[in-house]
């Protein structure tokens, strides 16, 4: 079984921080879509917990942590209240929210990969679930908000690629039997920095070679 990245207490705290920030992004999208407070809460919960819930169901870690830890469920609701009353101020610190979102991306792609491997999945499947843990909530959020998921849009800065890199680094470390808190932290940091660089320099994935399309670009 791979080692824990942090102590259980620290890991739980970081999970809650990541959940809170992801929930903020979900609630903000709900505000932009003119949803009511219930819609805000739904998008916050889905964004924050969707990826981890999917991972836990796939690996058989049931009931999922989202349903056994009250803090996991209540944190998105608290984020919803923050956005409900303070959304103009939250919008003004959107850049800071993106930074924390990137940190959550790095942490969750690593913790998702290690947890999947600990439950007996092979390295490829573990890395895939690490990616799903990091980006799954955002995909569900966009689908519920009737938008093309950011994960699939060419005109959005790289999001999945940093998570793929982080999860792959963890899988390689497991394969070489060098996974440790240090190497796990390095993988999380790599995903975090790549996401920040993608936002700073607007890195995007390439589209089809010699693409010929009559579809208008939005």
DSSP string, 124-192: HHHHHHHHHHHHHHHHHHHHHTTS--GGG-TTS---HHHHHHHHHHHHHHHHTT---HHHHHHHHHHHH
Using pLDDT thresholds of 50, 70 and 90, give the confidence band for residue 2.
low
- Residues with Cβ within 8 Å of 79's Cβ and at least 6 positions away in sequence, in order, are 20, 23, 24, 26, 27, 44, 48
- Residues with Cβ within 8 Å of 144's Cβ and at least 6 positions away in sequence, in order, are 42, 43, 46
Q: Looking at residues 178-197, what average pLDDT do you find?
A: 93
Residue 194, pLDDT above cutoff 90: yes
Residue 143, pLDDT above cutoff 60: yes
Q: Residue 36 falls within a domain, yes or no?
A: yes
Residue 137, pLDDT above cutoff 80: yes
pLDDT tens sequence across 46-104: 999 999 999 999 999 999 988 999 999 999 999 999 999 988 877 677 777 788 788 88
- What's the rounded Cα separation, in Å, for the pair 107 and 134? 8
Q: Which of 144, 135, 201, 121 is CA-nearest to residue 165?
A: 135
Residue 197, pLDDT above cutoff 60: yes
Q: Which two three-digit tokens encode residue 154?
A: 């060419």
Q: Residue 194 falls within a domain, yes or no?
A: yes
Residue % of the chain over a pLDDT of 70: 92
Q: Residue 212 falls within a domain, yes or no?
A: no
Q: Residue 91 falls within a domain, yes or no?
A: yes
Mean pLDDT of the chain, nearest integer = 88
pLDDT tens sequence across 15-45: 888 899 889 888 988 988 999 999 999 999 9
Q: Residue 1 falls within a domain, yes or no?
A: no
Q: Residue 138 falls within a domain, yes or no?
A: yes
Q: Which of 125, 168, 132, 166 is CA-nearest to residue 149?
A: 132
Using pLDDT thresholds of 50, 70 and 90, give the confidence band for residue 215.
low
Residue 160, pLDDT above cutoff 90: yes
pLDDT for the residue numbered 101: 81
* Residue-range definition of the domain harbouring residue 12: 8-201
Q: Residue 93 falls within a domain, yes or no?
A: yes
pLDDT for the residue numbered 103: 85
Using pLDDT thresholds of 50, 70 and 90, give the confidence band for residue 1.
low
Structure pTM? Answer: 0.86
- Poorest-pLDDT segment among 97-111, 131-145, 173-187: 97-111
- Poorest-pLDDT segment among 91-105, 171-185, 198-212: 91-105
Q: Are 156 and 98 in contact (CB under 8 A)?
A: no
Using pLDDT thresholds of 50, 70 and 90, give the confidence band for residue 4.
low
Domain count for the chain: 1
- What's the rounded Cα separation, in Å, for the pair 175 and 127? 12
């Amino acid at each position: 079984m791979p080692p824990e990245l942090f102590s259980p207490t620290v890991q739980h705290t970081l999970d809650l921080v990541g959940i809170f920030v992801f929930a903020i992004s979900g609630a903000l999208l709900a505000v932009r879509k003119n949803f009511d407070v219930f819609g805000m809460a739904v998008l916050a919960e889905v964004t924050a917990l969707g990826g981890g819930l999917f991972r836990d169901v796939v690996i058989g870690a049931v009931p999922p942590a989202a349903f056994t830890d009250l803090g996991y469920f209540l944190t998105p609701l608290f984020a919803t209240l923050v956005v409900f009353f303070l959304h103009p101020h939250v919008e003004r610190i959107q850049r800071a929210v993106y930074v924390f979102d990137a940190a959550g991306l790095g942490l969750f792609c690593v913790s998702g990969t290690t947890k999947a491997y600990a439950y007996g999945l092979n390295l490829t499947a573990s890395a895939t679930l690490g990616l799903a843990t990091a980006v799954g909530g955002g995909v569900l959020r966009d689908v519920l908000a009737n938008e093309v998921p950011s994960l699939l849009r060419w005109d959005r800065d790289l999001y999945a690629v940093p998570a793929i890199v982080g999860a792959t680094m963890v899988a390689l470390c497991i394969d070489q039997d060098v996974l440790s808190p240090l190497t796990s932290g390095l993988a999380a940091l790599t995903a975090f920095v790549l996401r920040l660089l993608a936002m700073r320099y607007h890195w995007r994935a390439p589209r089809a070679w010699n693409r010929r399309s009559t579809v208008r670009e939005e």
